[in-house]
Structure 1
Amino acid sequence: MARGNFGIRCARVISKRNWHWSAREKLMIIMYYESGHSKRSTADKFNIQPKQLCEWINNKEKLLNAAFYTQRLNTDAPKKESYQANYPDIKNAKFSQKWVDGFMSRHKLVNKRKTTVAQRLPEDYVEQQGNFLSYILYCRNEHNYPLSLIGNMDETPMAFNLPSNNTIEQSGIKTVSILSTGHECSNFTVVLACMADGTKLPPVIIFKLKNILEMTWWIENVWTRRASQNNNPRSFLVLDSFSAHKTDVVKQRFCEKKTDLAVIPGGLTSRLQPLDVSLNRSFKAKVRNLYNNWMSKAIKDYTSSGKIKRPSYSLVASWVKEGWDAIDTSMIRQSFKCCGISNATDGTEDTLIFDFNQLESKINRENLGREVEEDGENNDKENESESEGNDRNELEDDKSELKDNYYEENEEQTVIQDWS
């Protein structure tokens, strides 16, 4: 009888399939074990041997520093350390500017202008982002969310005055004055949210006018209405570590809406939040273009002291809507994959994680195409006859008046207090 039991046990072990686990999947299994499960139950759940699990636990530090798509750890010395050991005098080498220019030209290297001020990453950011991505993978394997139910929400601050950072002036001029409304310190907040399949949720503008519980208001009026036709299905939402996202009231409200939360560790939104990676910058660039067009073409009102009045709430709301509508849905999908949130669970898309270069090139192509399109539209307008232009201006005035009336009637419903 003991002999028969031994045979059955061996047969069960042999029947396990030979699966090549990536570093991200191994960390996800380790996290499941560390949440209070035994090694035997963990091994049975993921169809692995306990010996494998023990080996992964012992190599957890190496797994955290490995690429997420790596299936086998490299035991050799890192290339950087071995290079420094072989060439200890490299730090004393001197190069001329001509040699540096030639080297950069041969290897197609260029100097890039700073576009954002990024947070300083924490010292243990590799371990934190590894644990976060492993938790994402674990939740997706447990609940099998469709991409249309995986979302990201972020609050981005904006100002009523959005002058361009670039201008044209004669060579040698050290100080250049840029016309503005003088409201650089008058800020408002825009709440943006999108889904992993490219769906864009309606933006919410928060002005400093009304005192409302902002987060619960957003849950009821934006997040819940998104799924009203599907009877509030189980969803997954990625948020940053802003204190308003972690209150008991907000957590309870999300729990009632069947929404599982993943809070990004502090200081890692520049790597793990899709809206921060690329979408916020493209959105603000579009709004800034609309502001610059308004400053250069529109007839502006002035205060009693002679300063330009800031744009109205209704005009700002139209800029926000137009800027958000202009975001390409394919860039939203790619941003989620670049942050490791919506990648295929079988590991076939893990190479897209943190591929910021490809995402950066896509953003640059989109911005360049938009500039060319706007230049073409401006040239067409200049070639039109004067009479047609007058008729068009009268029609646009009528439309703008109707649009302003619409926003003025609905402004009280959408204007709530600033997050700050």
Structure 2
Amino acid sequence: MVRGNFGIRHARVTSKRNRHWSAREKLMIIMYYESGHSKRSTADKFNIQPKQLREWINNKEKLLNAAPYTQRLNTGARPKYPYLEAELIEWVKEARSQLKTVTRYMVQAKARLLAKKESYQANYPDIKNAKFSQKWVDGFMSRHKLVNRRKTTVAQRLPEDYVEQQGNFLSYILYRRNEHNYPLSLIGNMDETPMAFNLPSNNTIEQSGTKTVLILSTGHERSNFTVVLACMADGTKLPPVIIFKLKNIPREVFPDGVIIRTNPEGWMNENEMTWWIENVWTRRASRNNNPRSLLVLDSFSAHKTDVVKQRFREKKTDLAVIPGGLTSRLQPLDVSLNRSFKAKVRNLYNNWMSEAIKDYTPSGKIKRPSYSLVASWVKEGWDAIDTSMIRRSFKCCGISNATDGTEDTLIFDFNQLESKINRENLGREVEKDGENNDKENESESEGNDRNELEDDESELKDNYYEENEEQTVIQDWS
């Protein structure tokens, strides 16, 4: 008698869907492993195979140099139009050898222009239908090892191992966000920027052929103070703090919305940091209940004392410290906001110098602007910063981008950020003046805005704060 097993239920086999990890996520897992965890515990935590982790560790150098959103390290198919790309890459190199700006959109436009050549249309019959999309530009840049970079000055020299440090920082940000799922309203950035009572522009309209160009000033270029700015990834701005070099707060009427502090040096220190945490950082939440938050800071020494760290722990705040020399790429306030803020304050100063009735010293020199007047400029300049610019700056630094990788293309896209900032500045000026400018006037205005920002880079350098930054930073992965 043959017995059948018809009543037996067999296990149902389902196909497992593979998880595609981006280069940024792989680096995050590698950094977690290198912070003191075993391969097995790391693999279990992120639900991957130990073999995957070993492969990623072996390819760490390639991952560091890959675009954050890259899921596969292989370059993929060969270029469809190799001769066109060869001419295009030579055009890029020639332009950069002459210090000319080359943007993604310029590459796209140049490719479309080259595609109209008869020689290419003869070799590639389907090139007439080629769109040369931004995705194609991504592939072109990857094949030829091109990246988006912003203009550097002597003070912005990047460290030799900046790629590795940059990757470590972004991995730590992603790890913390996956751990705690902070809302954008609880991801912040704080920075100190030194300013002077004398803020003249280095550019002025002058008669053609003039050999010597002089600009009137108050002579108080060395009378400095510190402005502390902070903002959140959703565009929220915390009240600015001004630290004057005084023993006591002057008996002047200061505007609401700006906080005045004084100390003998006029700089940020441990005492000022603890005060800022208690009186400004606690305003990030409406109910003042100190929810779990993430704060991005540079590696200035006063940010990292044991007292300051303990106070942040009490406020349920995780710190992400930017390695020294990388604030021009990883700090939202440094990427665009500080420069735009200073340019607005300088415009107010220039208007005061040209129009206001000023007081003079017995020796005939112009008295510096009052503390309350400077405070009003700071408030007005900070209020004028657009919230959408703040949100884009966070994404450009890789801090608030969607964790699923859909916004990773925005990381380090400084060209697009700068162009949007310039367009917004032009739009606000036109709206304020209530007049329509033609293209020539718009171009001139945009150039003036750019000159103001260049003035800011060339005048007062953050020497005190930069000299007290640490180049190597160890994040707390616990």
Rounded Cα–Cα distance in structure 2 between residues aligned with 1:124 and 1:69: 21
Structure 1 374/83 Cα, relative in aligned 2: closer, same or farther at 3 Å? same
Give the Cα separation in 2 of the matches to 1:17 and 1:67. Answer: 24
Please name the residue that 1:45 is paired with.
Answer: 45
Instruction: Tell me how far apart the structure 1 counterparts of residues 131 and 453 of structure 2 sit (CA, whole Å).
Output: 66
State whether residues 192 and 203 of structure 1, in contact with CA within 8 Å, keep that contact through their aligned partners in structure 2.
yes
Query: Contact 1:207/1:417 (CA < 8 Å) preserved in 2?
Result: no
2:244 maps to 1:186: no
How big is the shift at 1:286?
Answer: 0.6
Which of 459, 468, 471 is equivalent to 1:410? 468
1:196-250 superposed Cα distances (whole Å, 9 cap, x missing partner): 0000000000101138xx1111111100133261511011000001011011111
- Judged with a 3 Å threshold, the aligned counterparts in structure 2 of structure 1 residues 85 and 272 are, in CA distance, closer, same or farther, namely farther
Greater displacement, 112-121 / 192-201: 112-121
* Residues 348-396 of structure 1: per-residue CA shift (max 9 Å, x gap): 1100000001110012112323443455599999999999999999999
Tell me the residue number matched to 2:68.
68
TM-score for the superposition, normalised by structure 2: 0.67
Q: By how many angstroms is 1:39 displaced?
A: 2.2
Q: Residues 301, 92 of structure 1: CA spacing in aligned structure 2 closer, same or farther, 3 A cutoff? A: farther
- Pair 95,34 (structure 1): closer, same or farther in 2 beyond 3 Å: closer
SS at match of 2:193: strand
Contact 2:33–2:39, Cα closer than 8 Å, also in 1? yes
Mapped partners of 2:13, 2:309: distance in 1: 42
- Structure 1 alignment gaps of length 5 or more: none
Q: How many residues align?
A: 415
Higher mean C-alpha deviation, range 361-370 or range 399-408: 399-408
Aligned CA distance change for structure 1 residues 208 and 53 (closer, same or farther; 3 Å): same
Q: Please say if residues 209 and 417 of structure 1, whose CA atoms lie closer than 8 Å, have aligned partners that are also in contact.
A: no
Percent identity for Structure 1 against Structure 2: 95
**1:260-285 alpha-carbon deviations (Å, 9 max, x no partner):** 00100010000000000000011011
Give the Cα separation in 2 of the matches to 1:145 and 1:344: 12
CA distance in 2, matches of 1:127, 1:405: 25
- From 386, 396, 407, the equivalent of 2:444 is 386
Instruction: Please tell me whether the aligned partners of residues 204 and 414 of structure 1 are also in contact (alpha carbons under 8 angstroms).
Output: no
CA distance in 1, matches of 2:431, 2:246: 37
Match of 2:393 among 309, 316, 335: 335
| Alpha-carbon shift at residue 42 of structure 1 (Å) | 2.0
8 Å Cα contact 2:196/2:223 also seen in 1: yes
Distance 1:38 1:367, change over 3 A: same
Provide the rounded CA distance (Å) in 1 between the counterparts of 2:286 and 2:209: 60
Separation in 2 of the partners of 1:19 and 1:160?
A: 56
Distance 1:44 1:93, change over 3 A: closer
SS in 2 for 1:194: strand
8 Å contact 1:150–1:235 — kept in the other structure? Answer: yes
Q: Write the deviation string for residues 145-170 of structure 1: whole angstroms up to 9, x where unpaired.
A: 11000000000011111111211111
Could you tell me whether the CA contact under 8 Å between 2:230 and 2:237 is conserved in 1? yes
> Is the 2:299–2:470 Cα contact (8 Å) retained in structure 1?
no
Gaps (5+ residues) in structure 2? 76-115, 249-271
Distance 1:32 1:210 in 2: 46
1:45, CA displacement in angstroms? 2.1
Contact 2:186 2:232 in 1 (8 A): yes
Q: 1:50 to 1:357 in 2, by over 3 A?
A: same
Shift of 1:48: 1.7
Is contact 2:189–2:295 with CA below 8 Å preserved after alignment? yes
Contact 2:324–2:470 (8 Å) recurs in 1: no
Shift of 1:171: 1.3
Q: 1:210 to 1:254 in 2, by over 3 A?
A: farther
Contact 1:28/1:135, CA 8 A, preserved across alignment = yes
SS of alignment partner, residue 152 of structure 1:
strand
Query: Does the 8 Å CA contact 1:340/1:354 hold for their aligned counterparts?
Result: yes
Alpha-carbon separation, structure 1, partners of 2:217 and 2:421: 27
Comparing 409-418 and 314-323, the one that deviates more: 409-418
Contact 1:340 1:350 in 2 (8 A): yes
In the alignment, the residues of structure 1 paired with residue 159 and residue 424 of structure 2 have an alpha-carbon distance, to the nearest angstrom, of: 32
Report which stretch shifted further, 392-401 or 61-70.
392-401
Question: Cα offset for 1:43?
Answer: 1.9
Bigger shift: residues 18-27 or 365-374? 365-374
Preserved contact between residue 337 and residue 385 of structure 2 (Cα < 8 Å): yes
Q: CA deviation at 1:180?
A: 1.1
The equivalences for 1:207-286 within 5 A come to: 207-210=244-247, 214-227=272-285, 229-286=287-344
CA contact (8 A) 2:149 2:412 kept: no
Structure 2 CA distance for aligned equivalents of residues 61 and 291 of structure 1: 48
Provide the rounded CA distance (Å) in 1 between the counterparts of 2:298 and 2:398: 15
Tell me, what secondary structure is at the counterpart of 1:301?
coil
| Shift in alpha-carbon separation, 1:418–1:217, aligned structure 2, 3 A | farther
Shift of 1:402: 32
Q: Is the 8 A contact 1:209 1:415 kept in 2?
A: no
Separation of aligned partners in 2, 1:403 and 1:179 = 21
State the shift of 1:305 in Å. 0.5
Across the aligned residues of Structure 1 and Structure 2, the Cα RMSD in angstroms comes to 11.8
Which shifted more, 376-385 or 124-133? 376-385
**Worse-matched range after superposition: 66-75 or 102-111:** 102-111
Q: Indicate how the Cα distance of structure 1 residues 311 and 247 shifts in structure 2: closer, same or farther if over 3 A, else same.
A: same
Secondary structure at the aligned position of 1:8 is classed as coil
Separation (CA, whole Å) in 2 of partners of 1:131 and 1:417: 9
Counterpart secondary structure, 1:20: coil
Q: Distance in 1 between the 2:472 and 2:239 partners?
A: 11
Q: What pairs with 1:269-418 in structure 2 (closer than 5 Å)?
A: 269-373=327-431, 375-376=433-434
Which segment is superposed worse, 162-171 or 133-142? 162-171
Task: Determine if contact 2:321/2:473 at 8 Å carries over to the other structure.
Answer: no
Contact kept, 8 Å, 1:153 with 1:191, in 2: the verdict is yes
Which of residues 133, 142, 150 is equivalent to 2:187? 150
State the distance in 2 between where 1:416 and 1:51 align. Answer: 27
In structure 2, the CA distance between the partners of 1:407 and 1:148, relative to structure 1 (3 Å rule), is same
Cα contact 1:210–1:416 (8 A) shared by 2 = no
Distance 1:404 1:128 in 2: 21
